[in-house]
Amino acid sequence: MSVLRGKNILLGISGGIAAYKTATLVRHFIKAGAHVKVVVTPASKDFITPLTLSTLSKNPVFSSFYNEEDENAVWNNHVELGLWADLFVIAPATANTMSKMVTGNSDNLLIATYLSAKCPVYVAPAMDLDMYRHPSTKDSFDKLEAFGNIIIPAESGELASGLYGEGRMAEPENIVSFIEKHLEGQLPLRGKKILVTAGPTYEPIDPVRFIGNHSSGKMGYDIALAAADAGAEVILVSGPTHLRVSHEQIQLVKVTSSAEMYTACHTYFDGVDVAVAAAAVADYRPKHVAAQKIKKNEAHLTLELEKTTDILASLGEKKKGQFLIGFALETENEVENAKAKIRKKNLDLIVLNSLNDEGAGFGKPTNKVTFINSRFEEEPMALKSKEAVAQDIVNKIKEHYNV
């Protein structure tokens, strides 16, 4: 899964022959999961049509401050466009456009939007060989980089003039790859390994039946995704669930029983920096598992249960510097019970949620939690989506590492 997934990308296109490649560039951004809007200079429309770009981006293309043919037209707000974008990519960036970016000569919508943008700006230059080597162009590169813009180096190849050399705009796939690698290098949890447990465990009674619970696994899967999006390498140990994961930074390890989850967690724990135990592990399991399906012959069935091994406590006993996060689902004396678990299980942080809180618990899209750290400091949070709670948990990991 690309680091561009979910990003708002504003593509600025100036008037060079390489503009014809931007149709492919838009498709690559969309394929990576980004949302794309396009702003063009008037000259660029000689090389690529707004109709093509709007069809591919599924958004209107902006080319002027207002529609001169419609006296009732609404002003195209360059400030809103600049604030919408998570990334601003100017490709191709001609010598003329780069010069205007340096001087602030905002005589078109693209430059006005650039001057309003608060996000990272990537510049993919495109021009002929002599223009690319000219001292004024070199000066533009230096000043643009001094402003904090990121230059995507031009490539060598056959140019529109028939010459061969530097100045060719980077190919669309190379532009996307360059941006992805640049963003990945800035991810706060890059280089960290995180173990996350998720879902229920099923404890067998016989080959057909089991003891389980109502956990959907969503909380753990959301935590794994948020951690992976922050650059971490994630090992997701999951009990039975219908959920799927497709992020390339997440290794999914499927288990069924608490014993299998225990083995998987201890297999990976020594090699991770953080462990987040979000799974709803069964506290008890049948002491004897029938080899054949139990027949429905008696009016009553008595099962003898035994305690399962406390996975989180066992990790707390052996941790050597790992940041260990547990969960507590309580119905009474919530805070006191959660603090007792911090002591008993040697936790650094516990995420407390109460079944008494409306909107919290199993099978809900939302959760309401209170963070309690090892110093017993409490931080109650508002009711949020589980995705937002997952991000809050990942933020706690970032705080721990000061990133």
Six token digits for residue 108:
């078109």
The reported pLDDT for the residue numbered 16 is 93
Q: Which three-class secondary structure state does DSSP give residue 1?
A: coil
Q: What is the pLDDT of residues 126-167, one digit of tens each?
A: 999 889 999 999 999 999 999 999 999 999 988 887 878 888
The residues carrying an active-site annotation are: 213
- Name the class of domain 193-400: alpha beta
Q: Identify which of 55, 52, 42 has the alpha carbon closest to the alpha carbon of residue 20.
A: 52
Mean pLDDT of 387-401: 97
**Alpha helix segments (H runs only) across 270-324:** 311-318
Alpha carbon separation from 17 to 44, 107, 123, 130, 202 (Å, rounded): 8, 21, 16, 16, 61
Coil/strand/helix, residue 284: strand
Query: Are both 8-185 and 193-400 of the same fold?
Result: yes
Strands of the 349-354 sheet, one edge to the other: 250-254, 233-238, 193-198, 274-277, 323-330, 349-354, 369-373, 378-380
Contact 39, 189 (CB under 8 A): no
| pLDDT (tens digit per residue) in 341-370 | 999 999 999 999 877 777 666 667 888 899
Nearest to 224 by CA among 202, 183, 253: 253
Q: Looking at domain 8-185, does it have CATH number 1.10.3720.10? A: no
Least confident of 70-79, 92-101, 283-292, 296-305: 70-79
Q: Which helix (H) or strand (E) holds 107?
A: none
Alpha carbon 167 to its chain centroid, in Å, reads: 34
Q: Where are the domains of the chain?
A: 8-185, 193-400
Give the pairing of strands 155-158 and 150-151: unpaired
Token duo for residue 263: 């083995």
- Per-residue pLDDT band for 330 (boundaries 50, 70, 90) equals confident
Whether 323 shows a pLDDT value over 80: the answer reads yes
- Say how far apart CA 297 and CA 299 lie, in whole Å: 7
In this predicted structure, what is the pLDDT of residue 161? 79
- How confident is the model at residue 160, as a pLDDT? 82
Contact between 290 and 205 under an 8 Å Cβ cutoff? The reply is yes
pLDDT band at 1 (very low <50, low <70, confident <90, very high): confident
pLDDT at 75 over 80: no
pLDDT digits (tens, 9 = 90+) for 219-236: 999 999 999 999 999 999
Beta bridge mates, 285: 306
